[in-house]
Structure 1
């Protein structure tokens, strides 16, 4: 994909996420890894609904700005995920309402934030880890992400929002959307004893689609890799 086309795709997906209320105001950020090891990233204090392709931040392989507007202050978060999820080609971070709400619940398991409610929650987002609260832009969040050792493609930042790494920009966006919908379902069904996918059903998803989750699902980290969306 050409540089110009990739810039347009970033802005198109970002606008879609914003217009559907998945990240308000100037919140959220997106990055895509380039063939030379550098990145394109959304600028700091920019609304995902009103991006200019020509003003996206162009970073070199060391994360230094080489063109465009100053990048998102969440660069340490993106850098840590790229370093540990070696197959990741894109990262999406939002402040989506239901995922943020789940991150505040006292009973959630940091190693497995969301229960296996649907097949696509596992097929797209996989197992989700919780990282403790850090001030937005705090470089310490990078150490927390690196502490997960690349085992999770989807991470929830406490009292902040979800971040997802994908094998492509489209895959990362689709995984983020599925994570938010699963968080919504989880809140709707909380304390109602919903019927979850069984270990056998999860094992079937792993075998047929190569879903990147551990067995049993309820405990333990996922294996490494970028995370991919299976065919429809």
Structure 2
């Protein structure tokens, strides 16, 4: 089995798992994996994570042109922006996960660091999560907003839309976006209850031990 074939199957397997657990729904969400030639495999537009066909995934060349498969997701600019600004990014996952979206709508969320420090795991896997403003889906300005972060964030939240997370590979990106959703759920469950947050000193220890980007 070639590496590209393996990646095609892995994308479909992870996507189906996310769909079956309710982390995205209908035809929402998209995934990409960067290839050795600088191109990418991307989920097609209008497709459901629940029944992707490995042979029909969109293959883009290094310039972002479709060279094989179905027409790609309209959110390609999001994915390309991460690849162009983060040399370590090997995969990008974008979901419409309910708790993350709900948290993005709360008026008191810090746009520079939208997740409260409830556990060490979101810090370890995500660093600070930037809340970006609302964009119409497919607007190339979303990609420009990510480029404006100059590669300093691996995860962003599109207000009223959903999270976008880059990882060194597909497994890392999926794990990280799941952690984002789980932390958003915790934040909503404990909202107004005065939960004990990690202190600045505790956050610092996590950041140091796990060499977390924390800008």
Counterpart for residue 90 of structure 1: 91
1:80-229 mapped onto 2 (5 Å cutoff): 80-213=81-214, 222=215
Mapped contact 2:30–2:73 kept (Cα < 8 A): yes
What do the CA deviations read for 1:88-137 (whole angstroms, capped 9, x no partner)? 00000000000000111111111010111101111112210011000100
In 2, the alpha carbon distance for the partners of 1:124 and 1:208 equals 13
**Structure 2 segments unaligned to the other structure (5+ residues):** none
In 1, the alpha carbon distance for the partners of 2:65 and 2:36 equals 16
In 2, the alpha carbon distance for the partners of 1:192 and 1:18 equals 31
**Structure 1 segments unaligned to the other structure (5+ residues):** 214-221, 223-232
Give secondary structure in 2 for the equivalent of 1:137.
coil
What do the CA deviations read for 1:19-48 (whole angstroms, capped 9, x no partner)? 000001000000000001000000000001
TM-score, normalised to structure 1, is: 0.90
1:41-52 mapped onto 2 (5 Å cutoff): 41-52=42-53
In 2, the alpha carbon distance for the partners of 1:24 and 1:132 equals 22
Counterpart for residue 70 of structure 1: 71
What do the CA deviations read for 1:50-77 (whole angstroms, capped 9, x no partner)? 0000000000000000000000000011
What do the CA deviations read for 1:136-189 (whole angstroms, capped 9, x no partner)? 001111111111111111100011000000001000000000000000000111
Give secondary structure in 1 for the equivalent of 2:8.
helix
Deviation at 1:211, TM superposition (A): 2.0
Farther off after superposition, 117-126 or 34-43: 117-126
Give secondary structure in 2 for the equivalent of 1:31.
strand
In 2, the alpha carbon distance for the partners of 1:185 and 1:207 equals 24
Mapped contact 2:152–2:213 kept (Cα < 8 A): no
CA RMSD of aligned residues (A): 1.0
Runs of 4+ in 1 over 3 A off after TM superposition: none
Give secondary structure in 1 for the equivalent of 2:189.
helix
Give secondary structure in 2 for the equivalent of 1:100.
helix
In 2, the alpha carbon distance for the partners of 1:171 and 1:30 equals 13
Counterpart for residue 56 of structure 2: 55
